[in-house]
């Protein structure tokens, strides 16, 4: 990927950045007309996005601007004026997180980040999402300070969100816009020679196709909307309450058993740098969702996964 995903933002001046290949972000005294988006930080300072032409972008002298977080070669997040800017590798056929967030905000009473602006930078093969920060800290950060009762309560709160999301169903394995799912635990390995950053579009599967593809897991007759990445870095909490769920890029319609199964098999649910059981959140969330009839099938997944990725081994 050129430039690398971590170079998607470049600093021109202390409060001026180039974002991708065609957008400028800057701190301003007064928001001008014709901007793409504008917002205030906690101090009341004004920031805006405006278009910049390719020539001006290429000629501008700029320096590196380190991301807050990076996800390998395919994604990174920066802080811009108190907001978060997320860059993600993109190709045709991939649903953007902004599309999923729009569906969630319109359909559910669930706490999700507010989108300020989003766009696809086709020249750079990536999407951008500018969103407000969710109040609080991640469950991962807060975990050591929580009692067992509070941890269990967090799992119950998240399980209630899962139950709410699962009220909306569809008759095929697909995203909210009819594209294929993006959950890597259910997708085959990328073809040999494919760059690590490049997403591989996966087709939507009808009920019959999904039942064959996912066997011996029970795909069921109906597919339920779920987040699937409810790991401890994607749950935001404050004062004992869940304040929001972040990172919705893989949310889609999945078999009912997948919510509970995913929590038990994905290494993304491991708690990092904690004393005690690293799988404690996985176990608490799995127990909480199963109380709501969101059961799991770890054995079926293990068989499926060994067939899908013979060189890998799922957790059982």
Domains along the sequence of the chain with CATH: 5-131 (no CATH), 137-308 (3.90.1200)
pLDDT given for residue 315 in this prediction = 44
Write down the pLDDT at residue 171. Answer: 96
Task: State the pTM of this model.
Answer: 0.92
In eight-state DSSP terms, residue 174 is B
8 A C-beta contact, residue 315 and residue 264 = yes
The mean pLDDT of 241-255, rounded to a whole number, is 95
pLDDT tens string 276-291: 899 999 999 999 999 9
Q: Which of 249, 248, 250, 264 is nearest to 297 (CA)?
A: 264
CA distance 223 to 213: 14
Output the average pLDDT for the chain. 92
Rama region for 185: left / alpha / beta (φ>0; ψ in -120 to 50; rest)? alpha
Q: Give tens-digit pLDDT for 71-88.
A: 888 999 999 999 999 999
User: What gap in Å lies between CA 171 and CA 253, rounded to an integer?
Assistant: 9
List, for residues 113-156, the tens digit of each pLDDT value.
Answer: 999 999 999 999 999 999 999 999 999 999 999 999 999 999 99
**At CA 287, angle to CA 254 and CA 245, rounded to 5?**
55
- Residue 57 confidence class, pLDDT cut points 50, 70, 90: low
Whole-number pLDDT of residue 1: 74
pLDDT value at position 237?
96
> What is the Cα–Cα distance from 241 to 225, expressed in whole angstroms?
23
Residue 289's pLDDT is: 95
> Reduced to 3 DSSP states, what percent helix, strand and coil does the chain have, rounded to the nearest 5?
30, 25, 45
Specify the pLDDT at position 72.
Answer: 85
Model confidence at 316, in pLDDT bands (50, 70, 90)? very low
- pLDDT score for 60: 63
Q: Which position has the token pair 């599309």?
A: 99
Residue 256 is predicted with a pLDDT of 94
């Amino acid at each position: 990927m050129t430039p690398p995903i971590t170079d998607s933002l470049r600093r021109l001046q202390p409060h001026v950045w180039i974002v991708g290949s065609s957008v400028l972000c800057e701190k301003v005294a007064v928001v001008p007309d014709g901007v793409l988006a504008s917002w205030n930080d906690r101090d009341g300072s004004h920031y805006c996005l405006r278009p910049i032409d390719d020539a001006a972008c290429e000629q501008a002298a700029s320096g590196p601007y380190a991301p807050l977080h990076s996800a390998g070669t395919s994604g990174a997040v920066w802080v811009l004026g108190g907001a978060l800017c997320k860059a993600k590798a993109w190709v045709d056929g991939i649903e953007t997180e902004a599309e999923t967030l729009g569906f969630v905000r319109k359909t559910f009473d669930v706490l999700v980040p507010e989108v300020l602006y989003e766009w696809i930078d086709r020249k750079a093969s990536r999407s951008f999402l500018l969103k407000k920060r969710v109040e609080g800290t991640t469950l991962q950060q807060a975990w050591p300070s929580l009692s067992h009762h509070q941890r269990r309560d967090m799992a119950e709160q998240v399980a209630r969100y899962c139950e709410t999301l699962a009220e909306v169903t569809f008759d095929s394995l697909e995203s909210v816009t009819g594209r294929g799912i993006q959950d890597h635990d259910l997708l085959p390995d990328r073809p040999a020679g494919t760059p690590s950053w490049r997403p591989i579009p996966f087709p939507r599967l009808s009920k019959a196709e999904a039942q064959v593809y996912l066997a011996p897991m029970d795909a069921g007759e109906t597919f339920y909307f779920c987040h699937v990445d409810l790991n401890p870095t994607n749950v935001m909490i404050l004062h004992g309450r869940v304040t929001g769920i972040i990172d919705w890029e893989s949310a889609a319609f999945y078999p009912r058993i997948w919510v509970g199964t995913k929590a038990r098999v994905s290494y993304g649910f491991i708690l990092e740098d904690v004393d005690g059981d690293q799988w404690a959140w996985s176990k608490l969330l799995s127990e909480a969702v199963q109380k709501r009839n969101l059961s799991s099938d770890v054995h079926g997944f293990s068989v499926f996964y060994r067939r899908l990725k013979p060189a890998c081994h799922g957790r059982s």
